Structure 1
């Protein structure tokens, strides 16, 4: 639970990614809307790839 709360508080979207988020990305990639997408890596991580995981502040 600590990791879940910690990632939620430190995520740029201020929420955790759910199964639905990953499924929506898969549906997009399988649809005609992604016909121009080739050779890309898509991170469904709420922006954590960009900012990284902050280190906890210790006293």
Structure 2
């Protein structure tokens, strides 16, 4: 393999790793907190519904 091929492969691998890292960071930083917040809201609605029924 010549220098060009090694550089091309290294660049492609680095790009793929960077892209995957970015996607994981977005998922952990944006998507997961939104899902947790939505679940928290739904849990509070269920609690409130139970309180309305029993009081």
The TM-score, its normalising length taken from structure 1, stands at 0.26
Structure showing greater radius of gyration is 2
- Which structure is higher in RCO with an 8 Å CA cutoff and minimum separation 6? 1
